[in-house]
Structure 1
Amino acid sequence: MIIPMELLSEYPVPDHALDVKQEAREFAEEHIAPNAADYYESGEYPHDILEAGMDAGLVAQDLGEAVGGKGYDLQQMLAIAEEFYKADAGIALTLQLASFGAEIVEEHGADWQHEEFLRPVAQNDQITGLAVSEPETGSDLAGMTTSAEKDGDEWVINGEKYWIGNAVEADWLTLYAKTGDDPNNRYGNYSMFIVPTDAPGYHAEHIPEKMGFRASKQGHIVLEDCRIPEENIVGVEGAGFYMLAEFFNHGRVVVAGHGVGLAAAAIEEAWDFVHNREAFGKTVDEFQAVQHKLADMHLAFQSARSLTWDAAERVANQENAGYWAALAKTEATEAATDCAEKGMQLHGGRSVLTENRISRVYRDVRIPVIYEGANDIQRNLIYRQAPQ
């Protein structure tokens, strides 16, 4: 009998995050893992699991107590991410996206915006999302073309957004749009807005089937003279780029947790398979080549996890946050792709069967290396922000 592996150990998780880590693990084992295969096959939105996550107090609780949340910090959110993504990435992303971007409104928005928009999300009466990427650009935050222009006491928004989580399901979105055209101030031409999804001129549809993360829904938004009240701007005009840069430092650490969880899933699946599969009169794990592959998977995983938790503390303390966030995001998501690739090799021909978990993990790991800034962009950030 093979003893189940314990890769997502309590160390190096700080003491204050251990309780929520355990809650997330128990929830993942009860609600996410048993339903992962079915939701992957159907590609449906997991409304029932999202509701269960809300009932368990594990959705949108990074929002503060002042608006009805629990105020979970970066390390607590990372602990949740590890456990959820090990169980299933698509369902995990649905749970995470329910409040994605609301943190920007909490940090920079007005008190009335907190009450009208954040409180319903923190209390799980509404869900939201963040609209940044566009059909022609994703990583170039200063190259977006969706525009917002003043017309009396309203903003009129025109353009398109793509790959937007909850574009169809959300009650409102935090949306990034161009409000200036100063060639000498490329990063000061953008602002953030709260856009209700029932606003006139807002149109959204689901993006067709994806190869991975199938239980998470992303959408294509078309904004045609979409009108919102003047006061729906978040913070001050022209500060949108800088708001996003700060937000993504935290977000990229959590995405590193996505990679850690997926890497753990790949290792556990491969470990179990090779210890229970026989070839040439012995179990597959007895071959040195197999042992070396598993050793390499552990090296990648443990290095990435250590870096991720180190980065979480540094980013939380605003210690060269952009550098550490980029390091963690890149290392952990690429460790996941490496572990999944080796896991596929160890499974042999059976790896290609969609009924096998390793094939789902293999497809899922191709996505976090792209979102929240593709890893080539992260390498640019690492080089530019490296300690001198």
Structure 2
Amino acid sequence: MARSALSALVAVASFSYVAGQATLSTFPATPIASLHFAYPSQVPYKVVPDQYARGTQFGYNICNSTTENQQSLCQTAFVNGIDDFCILAPSQPNSTIGDTEGEEVIWCTKKGHGGRLIPDGTITGIQVLRNTNYVQLFAFLNQANIDISPPDFGGELDPHGQDLLGNPIGGLLYSTAFSSDNKTIQQINEWNMFVGGNTSAIKVCNPAGPNPAGFCQHTLDRIGWQYNMPNSAVNGVFEVCDSDAMDIPGVYTVNGQTLSYSQPPESLGPISTLPYTARIPASSNCVTFQSSALYTDLASISAPTPTGTSSGSTPTASGKGTAGTGTGTRSSSASTASSTGKSNGAGTLTASLFSSIVGVAFSIAFIA
């Protein structure tokens, strides 16, 4: 939906009346993605303190040492680098992203953010791609360790949501990745995150970049990270690379002609075909690390014992979009990949399109 039309919709839909009685607002007066809060002085206790048609904010945004524990409901995330980032995930074991997308809380790799720590051994591989437009992280996970049901393919989280309240409602994200000193904290108003299928794909877009809303656009949630965050990550490898910029999600070229793909309404049924394959941007200057050197704060946090469903079961989709399937293997140039046929991983799209479509076919998406 065009932003001008969306703004008009917000203006007329903020309040509605039934039989002369005021009902709860559907949309906020100002979209959450347009709000700016300097960290930490301007961060409110709750970004969304009021009740809306979809609900109210589950957790809180002022997070510090008093809220930092494994029961924290902090919803202010950080994505600074390979050793310091947060994943938004449920607060209760065996949850699905589809059922909890408005309530996710932060699980972080380092102390100091006021949230939960990701249990030791949860992250089994990660690739970070950096350029002036965005920083992208793709991690392989044991997702039961962060309260996601083992079979869940998950979905997408972003600061917009179907009603401009964000998913999670009121969630904020900050980063030092785009500051000249790598220390100054900046609010990131355009970001998105796919979580599920034993993976997490996170993209944070440079506020000073030419098109942060384009690179981090949020309207292709049903076709997964393969089209929104193509990568050449390999499970077991921990690396940071410089990267060319990906194509704007949904934009592709055929015979020299630039075309755009729009996600069809869910009412038309599952997405069974796609007109293009996402290009994996070339990467270079990759530096590898040992996980034991990256995640020293996690050593004291043990993974919970999974309950309910066997961790060996096949993931199934729920909620917004699908986090994806297949496991990638990178070529020496780091710009192409192929499928190894593993059932739970994440990899890249030159793995058969079939694996992507299967995940899409099961997704139950909300309007992005």
**What TM-score results when the alignment is normalised by the length of structure 2?**
0.28
**Higher percent of residues as helix:** 1
State the TM-score, normalizing by the size of structure 1: 0.27
